Copies of this chain bind each other. A is one copy, B any other.
Amino acid sequence: MADKKPVNHIRLTSHPDGEAPGVAIHWGDPEPLRRGPVVATLGDPSKRNAIGTHSGAYAIYRALAVSAGKLPPDHRADLTHTSPAAQIGPHPSWSDASRIVSLDPWGAIAPQVFRAFLEQDVDFRPTIAVTRAHINLPEVRDAIAAGRLKADGDLVAPNGDIKVVKAAVEPVWYLPGIAKRFELTESALRRGLFEHTGGMFPELITRPDLHVFLPPIGGLSLYVFGDIESLADRDVPLAVRVHDECNGSDVFGSDICTCRPYLAHGIEECVRTAQGGGAGLIVYLRKEGRALGEVTKFLVYNARKRQEGGDQAATYFQRTECVAGVQDMRFQELMPDVLHWLGITRIHRFVSMSDMKHDAITRSGIEILERVPIPDELIPADAKVEMEAKKAAGYFTRGPVADADALTRVKGRDLDA
């Protein structure tokens, strides 16, 4: 922008021009060429059929790059050799407009299935990328050393390397479907998203003809262990962990929660299930601090550890609610979409104790046969406050649940200890 003439007209928002957008989206249509690609290009605004743009929250960095003259505003991605490294779908769920509403099921293979639109010079891009990787975790090496896992030389190498297929998924919201999930009218949802972000994207209001929104939030990553095609086969054993980001534990090993230990246990369960002829899946969602963000999370830590009586399971949820106004903002209602995208209809071992995740998945029509709690020996001492509070609030456990009195006696460390 820096070198453009500053007198150019700035258009504050757009309005429907009476004609349908260049390429219509018929969400849920089983025929890709009728479904149509999501076009969020900034090169030719008149061709857009979606609100917002690509890369989630990283769109701001892209705007900075263009502003700073580092990136041509009309750059088009050269997608040579980028197609998915493993085939996923299409599955019957892809053609159910209400089953998948928070990602684009055609997002990984858009350049292939919408090729006819490319030839019409329509600028669209994949919102999902699928690749292969080798991953290696110290906890898996420990599991091999302890004899809990075996290196088979195929899925697991002697050095602990595990072969996976992994995918990154950008959020793509079909607004009528999102509204329905939350039992809202589409216009109430649009207005809420606009007004309660401080006025983000006036097109949410002025373009009721555009029903797809690419929100500037984090997306998700997924890791598949074993044969990816068997995920959709309900008779092949499948272990699944749905994990919400917790940077403090997942990366730095903070001992106030069970996040990384449970994630590592989930990976171990996935490997074991895959080695036994089944498959495993880890879904990692960018929802730091229950989607309240890490600043709120750390404020809550301080309030928990300084409150009268000290950090205790009895008041675990209250401290979050005081600061944030809610206990949780993760909206598990949208989470099952990725499972449906993979064609999953049955989970044999669900490596999570969360009743919210369990209920969201089963309500969406996926069967869960067994729930796998975190082994007691993996729970850090200071994380017992969280664990007992959650079990008392409905988390799955095979053991006893503390009563109100006992919850006051489950104590964590002081802030300065």
Contacts and interface: CB of A to CB of B under 8 A. Distances in A.
Given A62-B329, A217-B58, A284-B247, A206 B131 contact: no
A408 interface: no
Count of this chain's copies in the oligomeric assembly: 2
A295 B169 contact: yes
A293 B286 CA distance: 12
Contacts of A52: 197-198, 200
A46 interface: no
Q: Which of A63, A78, A84 has the most chain B CB atoms closer than 10 A to its own CB?
A: A63
A129 B299 contact: yes
Contacts of A255: 133-136, 161
B135 A138 contact: no
A353 to B, nearest CB: 20
A198 B289 CA distance: 28
A294 B325 contact: no
Contacts of A223: 252
A134 B413 CA distance: 10
B6 A57 contact: no
Given A82-B303, A254-B134, A63 B221 contact: no
B248 A82 contact: no
A82 B323 contact: yes
B187 A56 contact: no
Interface in A238-265: 247-248, 250-256, 260, 263
A205 B223 CA distance: 42
A56 B59 contact: no
A256 to B, nearest CB: 7
A60 B217 contact: yes
A160 to B, nearest CB: 9
Contact of A13 (B1, B202, B301, B326): B202
A75 interface: yes
A198 B203 CA distance: 9
Contacts of A129: 294-299, 301-302
A369 interface: no
A87 to B, nearest CB: 13
A132 B413 CA distance: 11
B2 A131 contact: no
Given A253-B137, A301-B131, A192 B64 contact: yes
A138 B142 contact: yes
Interface in A74-129: 75, 77-85, 126-129
A73 interface: yes
Interface string A181-202: 0111101110111111111111
A65 interface: yes
Nearest to A321: B78
A7 to B, nearest CB: 11
The 5 closest A-B pairs by CB, nearest first: A67-B192, A138-B138, A129-B298, A75-B325, A168-B294
9 contacts: A11-B199, A55-B293, A63-B192, A71-B325, A81-B307, A82-B303, A131-B415, A138-B142, A200-B201
